[in-house]
């Protein structure tokens, strides 16, 4: 079998997605997700202009060799653009291999290690009461684990708070919107949110919270301590994690489990965090961290240090990533939890898929390959529209982490 074509499809069914479709001389094709929120066209060009020409004529069964060719062969290693592009190729090649061997991808990764993949959903609200209601709604839908975010009194708009009556979506059309931030107000507010959720729903539900890079290590230590009575499953991204040793300080002060990694793109962003057991969950994805091939190595390394996975799964990761993540999640032993944020119906129509949800768990399905596709005709009806994540400023105008 040889690769005859590698096509990049950019579309916007509800939000922007970049998809790679690799075709072969035997009629089998594979799909991969290359979406990098707010920087979509950079990855599209990387794939179209620099990767696709190198793939033509290669044997698609050589997944590891092609991965190394794209990683080592580019000379310029790592970075979100490069690693998302490599990931898209990697997903598409696993999809092709599964279809060629007539078996779901998880079978090629060692087989199933569990019956289903536990996911957590998002409960967002303008204030504590609205978030509490949303937690209840998700528990009724069968979710065992829920992430809770709420608006902060005195902060005009923040991460996780829906605009109007719609669902929360971080990216907005046009140029980047600006949000305001106040750490003190946030730190006073967040324990009240979780106290109220535990008062209403008791001890059983697994509760998570995303600090979304807004704290310093000592502030994160305080938030972790203040949340200990509510026994969270994790706090996510307590600090921006370029400085891996910053986590030592948080770790010394709190037993609230720590999760990080949605912006990481290779093991080199996380090796100290894992080796020193400074975190509990590594949240890199098969999309932004080099595909299934690289994530298998990350998970194996993490397994030795009691670190479990907790893949990022927001709406800016397409159903192709969701499918690939589920095959990966179900196959490894040190799986922790998978994030799930439902896509719009337009997105689901453009990306038909076989994965399914029941009772708090997702199932990848038994279709050969990844069990997901792109409907190119429908995709063509949703052309790309520039959209960006917000920029954050403190109340005095200083640019801050979003
Ligand atoms: O802000 O995916 O845990 N989920 C998140 C997401 C991220 C977006 C960025 O593109 O933090 O909502
Ligand atoms: Co997050």
- Answer yes or no: do 194 and 259 share one domain: yes
- Answer yes or no: do 204 and 95 share one domain: no
The pLDDT tens digits along the chain (402 residues) read 999 999 999 999 999 999 999 999 999 999 999 999 999 999 999 999 999 999 999 999 999 999 999 999 999 999 999 999 999 999 999 999 999 999 999 999 999 999 999 999 999 999 999 999 999 999 999 999 999 999 999 999 899 998 887 889 999 999 999 999 999 999 999 999 999 999 999 999 999 999 999 999 999 999 999 999 999 999 999 999 999 999 999 999 999 999 999 999 999 999 999 999 999 999 999 999 999 999 999 999 999 999 999 999 999 999 999 999 999 999 999 999 999 999 999 999 999 999 999 999 999 999 999 999 999 999 999 999 999 999 999 999 999 999
Domain limits for position 158: 108-367
Question: What is the CATH number for 118?
Answer: 3.20.20.120
Contact yes or no for 90/83 (Cβ under 8 A):
no
Question: What is the CATH number for 89?
Answer: 3.30.390.10
Whole-angstrom distance between the N-terminal and C-terminal Cα of the chain?
46
- Answer yes or no: do 140 and 272 share one domain: yes
Q: Which residues contact 329 (CB under 8 A, 6 or more apart)?
A: 117, 309, 311, 335, 338
- Answer yes or no: do 94 and 128 share one domain: no
Query: Which of 312, 321, 392 has most ligand 1 atoms within 8 Å of CB, for mutation?
Result: 312
Measured from the Cα of 37, ligand 1's closest atom is: 10
- Answer yes or no: do 116 and 24 share one domain: no
Residue 352 and residue 87: Cα distance in Å, rounded? Answer: 20
Question: Is residue 360, in this structure, part of any structural domain at all?
Answer: yes
Q: Is 270 in the pocket of ligand 1 (CB under 6 A)?
A: no
Question: Is residue 382, in this structure, part of any structural domain at all?
Answer: no
Over its C-alpha atoms, the chain yields an Rg (Å, rounded) of 20
Query: Which of 170, 211, 321 has most ligand 1 atoms within 8 Å of CB, for mutation?
Result: 170
Question: Is residue 396, in this structure, part of any structural domain at all?
Answer: no
Total-model pTM? 0.97
Question: Is residue 77, in this structure, part of any structural domain at all?
Answer: yes
- DSSP assignments along 264-309, one per residue: --SGGGTHHHHHTT--SEE---TTTTTHHHHHHHHHHHHHTTT-EE
Q: Is 280 in the pocket of ligand 1 (CB under 6 A)?
A: no
Residue 255 and residue 270: Cα distance in Å, rounded? Answer: 20
Residue 260 and residue 273: Cα distance in Å, rounded? Answer: 9
- Answer yes or no: do 127 and 43 share one domain: no
Closest listed ligand to the CA of 317: 1
DSSP state of 228: G
User: Which CA distances in Å does 165 have to 14, 125, 133, 287?
Assistant: 16, 10, 14, 30
Q: How many domains does the chain have?
A: 2
Token duo for residue 275: 């080796």
Token duo for residue 237: 């991204």
């Amino acid at each position: 079998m040889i690769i005859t074509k590698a096509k990049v499809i950019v579309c916007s069914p509800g939000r922007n997605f970049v998809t790679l479709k690799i075709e072969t001389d035997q009629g089998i094709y594979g799909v991969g997700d290359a979406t990098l929120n707010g920087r979509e066209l950079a990855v599209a060009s990387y794939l179209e202009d620099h990767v696709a020409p190198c793939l033509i004529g290669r044997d698609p069964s050589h997944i590891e060799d092609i991965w190394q060719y794209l990683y080592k062969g580019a000379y310029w290693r790592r970075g979100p653009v490069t690693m998302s592009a490599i990931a898209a190729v990697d997903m598409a090649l696993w999809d092709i291999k599964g279809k060629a061997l007539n078996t779901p991808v998880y079978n090629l990764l060692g087989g199933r290690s569990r019956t289903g993949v536990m996911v957590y959903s998002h409960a967002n609200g303008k204030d504590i009461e609205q978030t509490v209601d949303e937690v209840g709604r998700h528990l009724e839908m069968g979710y065992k684990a829920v992430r809770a975010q709420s608006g902060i009194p005195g902060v005009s708009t923040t991460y996780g708070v829906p605009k109007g009556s719609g669902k929360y979506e971080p990216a907005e059309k046009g140029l980047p919107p600006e949000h305001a931030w106040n750490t003190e107000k946030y730190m006073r507010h967040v324990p009240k949110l979780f106290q109220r959720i535990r008062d209403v729903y008791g001890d059983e539900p697994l509760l998570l919270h995303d600090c979304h890079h807004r704290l310093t290590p000592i502030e994160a230590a305080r938030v972790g301590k203040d949340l200990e009575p509510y026994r969270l499953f994790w706090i996510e991204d307590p600090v921006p994690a370029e400085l891996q040793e910053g986590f030592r300080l948080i770790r010394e002060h709190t037993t609230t489990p720590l999760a990080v990694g949605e912006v990481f793109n290779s093991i080199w962003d996380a090796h100290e965090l894992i080796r020193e057991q400074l975190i509990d969950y590594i949240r890199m994805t098969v999309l932004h961290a080099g595909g299934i091939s690289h994530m298998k190595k990350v998970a194996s390394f993490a397994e030795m240090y009691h670190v479990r996975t907790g893949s990022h799964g927001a709406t800016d990761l397409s159903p192709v990533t969701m499918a690939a993540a589920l095959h990966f999640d179900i196959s490894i032993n040190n799986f922790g939890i998978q994030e799930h944020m439902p896509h719009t119906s337009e997105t689901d129509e453009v990306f038909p898929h076989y994965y399914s949800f029941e009772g708090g768990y997702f199932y990848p399905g038994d279709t050969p390959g990844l069990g997901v596709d792109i409907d190119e005709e429908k995709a063509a009806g949703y052309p790309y529209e520039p959209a960006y994540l917000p920029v954050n400023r403190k109340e005095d105008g200083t640019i801050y982490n979003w």
